[in-house]
Structure 1
Amino acid sequence: TGKPIKTLTGHTDSVFGIVYSPDGKTLASSSRDNTIKIWNINTGKPIKTLTGHTDSVFGIVYSPDGKTLASSSLDRTIRIWDINTGKPIRTLTGHTGYVYGVAYSPDGKTLASSSRDKTIKIWNINTGKPIKTLTGHTNSVRGIAYSPDGKTLASSSADRTIKIWNINTGKAIKTLTGHTDSVWGAVYSPDGKTLASSSFDKTVILWTVTEIPDLQGNK
């Protein structure tokens, strides 16, 4: 019908991020009010409000198993939350600028984050320590996405490019150019063959990524 089913209200400022849980029963939202809310889809009511960030919460993502939630904030940290308790499990620190994007790897063992400090960090979930720092963008890195097979990572930046990274080597395999303004979002298709990017230039571009040579980082 294209008609709204429910309107979820409760945040006291702009809502930036929104994501469904893997089982589709709950929804998480991140806000400029420094909080994350977990919502019951059926009732439209908030189940929990997660507090701890000291600035706007931007990115938000459920772990593949749905047991934890990761959030990125303008307070320069990433937090991992226990869904059942609503408590933070650990706080990941290391970025020197706002943290915009956050993404779990398909196997749930690592987390990627993108920042205004022009870098992407790959984190070990269990230790909370950074495994790699990916450098190459010349401006803020906004969007971040793992490929479905977990072997590559796509990042979008205010430098008007998208970069495809090899996870194992931490090196950029390809730089995609074509946008004429900041690139905000990046997302892989479920089959991993195409990538979509959204930009301040008012366009969405679809890229064929299966044709990128050396996608596995082999020489």
Structure 2
Amino acid sequence: MYNFEVTTLEGHTELATNLIFSQDGQTVASASYDKTVKLWDATSGKLIHTLTGHTDQVWSVVFSSDGRTVASASLDKTVKLWDATSGKLINTLTGHTDTIWSVVFLPDGRTVASNSRDCTVKFWDVNTGKLINTIVAKYADEDDSVIFLPDGKIVMFTVSGETMKLWDVHTGKLIHTLTGHTGIVRNAEFSPDGKMIASTSFGTVKLWNANTGKLIYALTGHTDEVESVIFSPDGKILASASDDKTVKLWNVQTGELIHTLTGHTKLVWSVIFSPDSRIVASTSTDKTTKLWNVNTGELIYTLTGLTYSVNHVIFSPDGKTIASGCSDNIVRLWKMTNEL
């Protein structure tokens, strides 16, 4: 049994689009349609800084690995780098000619990469703010994803109807074409080690070998659209969320169904694992987030009392706090007080 205390973080005037914890778990950053990024104390819930300067919606926010720098990406075509301690603007990275979908720090900590609707991926020096390199991805589209794999390779997913393509971002060469879905592909995710890909289409989840592009398993059982899939951090389990009001847990090595998690009263649109892979959280349009025991499939706790649907949920690095963003513009911190 778990008990939770909830703290409300109020301040955004529009929807929070993205939430992230710093790696030490002490700070939460929230990006919003209101053109700001807010930094919150994860323990007290108090507002630390409001980062202002973007002139349009902020869609992506990320901490550097040392927690000292925050990067934000906006529809205003810029990336901004901020000092996380002082809240001051360090640099504004300009050069994209269209909306920037996402921003990420590279493992070296000295480089930040931005992915834009202008079909480019740009690499920037964090210390100087100078542009290092631009890769033109003529095959890109707003629904596509740039992915940084553990081995340092950078790839891009493109989806067109029933077909997925995997490209090498550096060379622009096609790596694999993944075919086999009979409906439009809704979602695709890499495993933590970068060796497998999971994709969804209507009621089917497919697992692919990322190195060969070959289909490994077709996971069937959902009776309606599968909204999202995610691998557990240890790479052993895949969770799928569906409009059929269920979450299914699958054994990645065998393709076998482990558990079907039932209890939501409306479609389930998102799932996420705790860092230790022991808990999976599911969010639904029934205005609840449910926490499940991965090993037993049992319901642990339901985060309730919300009058709006939850649109974003993340775990803190230690797995003891959950941050959620709702359509009421409020960010909530759910802190685990005990485990019985």
Q: Is 89-98 or 23-32 further displaced after alignment?
A: 23-32
One-letter code aligned to 1:57? V
CA-based RMSD of the aligned residues comes to 2.6
Q: Which one has more relative contact order, counting CA pairs under 8 Å at least 6 apart?
A: 2
Instruction: State whether structure 2 residue 318 is matched by structure 1 residue 191.
Output: yes
- In the TM superposition, what whole-angstrom CA distance separates every residue of 1:3-58 from its partner, at most 9, and x where no partner exists? 442564436x8727664433342335363622323232334554323221122222
Q: 1:97 to 1:29 in 2, by over 3 A?
A: same
Instruction: State whether structure 2 residue 220 is matched by structure 1 residue 58.
Output: no
Match of 1:121 in 2: 248
Match of 1:87 in 2: 214
Larger Rg: 2
**Structure 1: where are the runs of 5+ without partners?**
none
Q: Secondary structure at the match of 2:211?
A: coil
Alignment equivalent of 1:48, drawn from 168, 176, 183: 176
- In the TM superposition, what whole-angstrom CA distance separates every residue of 1:183-209 from its partner, at most 9, and x where no partner exists? 34433233323333344x263634234
Q: Percent identity?
A: 45
Q: 1:22 to 1:138 in 2, by over 3 A?
A: farther
Match of 2:331 in 1: 205
Q: CA deviation at 1:163?
A: 0.9
Instruction: State whether structure 2 residue 308 is matched by structure 1 residue 181.
Output: yes
User: Hey, what's the Cα distance between the residues in 1 that align with 2:159 and 2:177?
Assistant: 11
8 Å CA contact 2:149–2:193 kept in 1: the answer is no
Q: 1:51 to 1:178 in 2, by over 3 A?
A: farther
User: Hey, what's the Cα distance between the residues in 1 that align with 2:299 and 2:292?
Assistant: 4
User: Hey, what's the Cα distance between the residues in 2 that align with 1:181 and 1:45?
Assistant: 44
Match of 1:37 in 2: 165
Instruction: State whether structure 2 residue 136 is matched by structure 1 residue 10.
Output: no
Q: Secondary structure at the match of 2:186?
A: strand
Match of 2:280 in 1: 153
Q: 1:195 to 1:38 in 2, by over 3 A?
A: farther
TM-score by length of 1: 0.82
User: Hey, what's the Cα distance between the residues in 1 that align with 2:292 and 2:169?
Assistant: 35
Q: Which has the higher strand share?
A: 2
8 Å CA contact 2:158–2:166 kept in 1: the answer is no
Q: CA deviation at 1:109?
A: 1.6
- In the TM superposition, what whole-angstrom CA distance separates every residue of 1:76-132 from its partner, at most 9, and x where no partner exists? 111111111111111000001111111112222211111110001111122212111
Q: Is 87-96 or 186-195 further displaced after alignment?
A: 186-195
Q: CA deviation at 1:140?
A: 0.5
User: Hey, what's the Cα distance between the residues in 1 that align with 2:183 and 2:308?
Assistant: 26
Q: Secondary structure at the match of 1:101?
A: strand
Match of 1:103 in 2: 230
Q: Is 50-59 or 119-128 further displaced after alignment?
A: 50-59
One-letter code aligned to 1:96? T
Q: 1:86 to 1:133 in 2, by over 3 A?
A: same
One-letter code aligned to 1:115? S
